[in-house]
Chains A and B, each alone.
Chain A
Amino acid sequence: MTDFDPVELKRIRWHSRRGLLELDLVLERFLAQRFDSLSPAEMSAYKALLELPDNDFLDVVNAKMDLDDPEVMQIVEILRAI
């Protein structure tokens, strides 16, 4: 995670607070279990996911929708399984 300074990591954590409870719950688990061990590339992919509107993000997590970027999809797979 050398590419991300601690402040950026905290910002990403805050951006994991969403408007939908379902997402809060999934991302809370993700932050507790996986966040600290993400590689820089994975962290960038997670950041990209956080840019999605909440409803799309939930559809992605619930496997109703996939995304094109394979690196982002790797994080999505973690979120789907968590």
Chain B
Amino acid sequence: MGVPVRRFDAVIVGGGGAGLRAALQLSESGLKTAVLSKVFPTRSHTVAAQGGISASLGNVQEDRWEWHMFDTVKGSDWLGDQDAIEFMCRKAPEAVIELEHFGMPFDRLENGKIYQRPFGGHTQHNGQTPVQRACAAADRTGHAMLHTLYQRNVRANTQFFVEWMALDLIRDADGDVVGVTALEMETGEVFILHAKAVLFATGGAGRIYAASTNAFINTGDGLGMCVRAGIPLEDMEFWQFHPTGVAGAGVLITEGVRGEGGILLNSNGERFMERYAPNLKDLAPRDFVSRSMELEVLEGRGCGPNKDHVLLKLDHLGPDIIKQRLPGIREIAIKFAGVDPIKEPIPVIPTCHYMMGGIPTNYRGEVVTPKDGNHESRVNGFFAAGECACASVHGANRLGTNSLLDLVVFGKSAGDSMVEYIKNEMPTWKDLPADAADRSLARIARLDNQKNGEEVTDVRTAMQRTVQSRAGVFRNSANLALGVTEIKEVAERAKVMQIKDKSKVFNTARVEALEMENLIEIAVATMISAEARQESRGAHAHDDFPTRNDEVWMKHTLYYGENRSLTYKPVHTKPLSVDYIPPKERTF
């Protein structure tokens, strides 16, 4: 077949924080490394991260990595793997200081050390008192990280393939990964990138939900590629929601608004949080507020013509406080909700924010799947890091600022593992299978030839509505079962998606259709995994099974695309050096 082949030691799909950090390890060790990205790397979604990156530096208050580990295990609702969590929390100070040495402009204390902010869920003495652990570069932490890592990679001669979209993973007859196929958008040509090792760092997939804080680029391509290549997805039922996204837009309204006295109202004008959380009211934890909001909507007390949101009222604070203490909020409300909060309440709904599940990896960044009785057998040549991977450090619920940390710690760890693998086990390239590009070419040919099919936007809307209404913050058996049926119907429609523009060069309609083929795989995985889990844990809140059931359900879900089946594997209860942190009730 006439598909051109290009060869590299390592191919990295994704130029966000995780991909760039991994690439650096490879390039700096002298390996020929390619990074593919759909957009210019510094426009990856990592740029959106404002809150910061956590590390127990103890610059402001006493802190220890063991306390960080405790918070992360508790945050994960005991679904996180404790070896990976220990690895991440122990490495955190070193990882942040390394970024500082790379030139990342962190905010500083007067003594010159990195300043640390308070953040929800960060504590001293295993949950006793809040601690300042988040390191930030003003409100541009993600941006600063991307720029720092990008510059470093340029210096290390990493080769960037910008506006290249990876289409499919190439596995040989042994199941080993030997490269990817990719579409060069500029020309519309498909290439084979032949590699000794491949890393996916393709980010999250929040766009499966109708209400998402994620940019349009977050279509979970890496996960779609895995499903098509027979690699399972882990813990896909766990998605973190932020309670106050602007209804219909997704843009975040920060917690600070409720901190300053903003309150949530239902269609009767009732401050319903008083009923659910008499003490903390509107300032109860994120998942609790989200669930209460969704209950109001489900019970018919939602607002607006479709009764599908609640209202965030702040006009009682007066224009001065709104303008002084909540800068930016008024602009967001006017621009994205069409209301001026000085006069009117803002329509808000719980909004999908972060994907805890993903491609199953260990703390070395190696992709691992069950094989011959071993729960975690390495897929040779395949690695993953960042939001697309499930190490699993976030378990059932991610702690704020732990994602940026995950990117650099596991990006580096995966990079190191790849260097080792290439140097010790892969002196040369394995042969490409004869049909290496067939699947990708067939996908494109089908899109080009499809007639009387479905429009991509219609299928996307149907998917997003289904996932939002059936696998939202608040779940129950009947709704989940309906969701499974419905999403399978949408998946059938996705098989006959069509595009009008059949041109080759820079055909963005084709790109969006190919992205949609990835999103639908993730949506199906999410519905099926969620329907099966009969307990409530972290972000998976099940009305019919309202408590956590460690005896039966302290295990990771694995979803396989071929037959849409599930298997499970144990949570790692053995940390690397410290004692196991046994489960407790998660109270605040």
Show the binding face of A for B, using Cβ within 8 Å.
7, 10-11, 13-14, 17-26, 28, 53-55, 62-63
Contacts and interface: CB of A to CB of B under 8 A. Distances in A.
Interface stretch (B153-161, B214-222, B270-278, B307-315): B214-222
Contacts of A19: 39, 42-48, 215, 217
B336 A55 contact: no
Interface residues of B, number: 34
A14 B506 contact: yes
Nearest to A22: B251
A28 B512 CA distance: 14
Contacts of A25: 249-251, 336
- Determine which residue in A11, A13, A25 has the highest number of CB atoms from chain B within 10 A of its CB, and name it: A25
Given A22-B251, A23-B215, A53-B42, 13 more contacts: A13-B508, A14-B163, A14-B508, A17-B215, A17-B217, A20-B47, A20-B48, A21-B48, A21-B215, A21-B250, A25-B250, A25-B251, A55-B47
Contacts of A62: 328, 331, 335
Interface in B47-79: 47-48
- Residue among A13, A22, A24 with the highest chain B CB neighbour number at 10 A: A22
Given A14-B185, A53-B42, A54-B143, A21 B214 contact: yes
Contact of B331 (A11, A23, A28, A63): A63
Interface of B: 38-39, 42-48, 140, 143, 147, 163, 185-186, 212-217, 249-251, 328, 331-332, 335-336, 505-508, 511
A75 B140 CA distance: 25
Contacts of A26: 335
Contacts of B147: 53
Top 3 A-B pairs, shortest CB-CB distance: A19-B47, A10-B506, A19-B43
A36 to B, nearest CB: 15
B508 A10 contact: yes
Contacts of B44: 19
A34 B506 CA distance: 21
Nearest to B146: A19
Contacts of A55: 47, 140, 143
A70 B38 CA distance: 31
B508 A53 contact: no
Contact of B336 (A10, A11, A22): A22
B149 to A, nearest CB: 14
A7 B45 contact: no
Contacts of B140: 55
Contacts of B249: 21, 25
B506 A7 contact: yes
A63 to B, nearest CB: 7
A53 B216 CA distance: 17
Contacts of B186: 11
A28 B42 CA distance: 20
A27 to B, nearest CB: 10
A7 B505 CA distance: 7
A55 B48 CA distance: 8
24 contacts: A7-B506, A14-B163, A14-B185, A17-B38, A17-B39, A17-B216, A17-B217, A18-B39, A19-B44, A19-B217, A21-B48, A21-B213, A21-B249, A21-B251, A23-B215, A24-B215, A25-B251, A25-B336, A28-B216, A53-B147, A54-B43, A54-B143, A62-B328, A62-B331
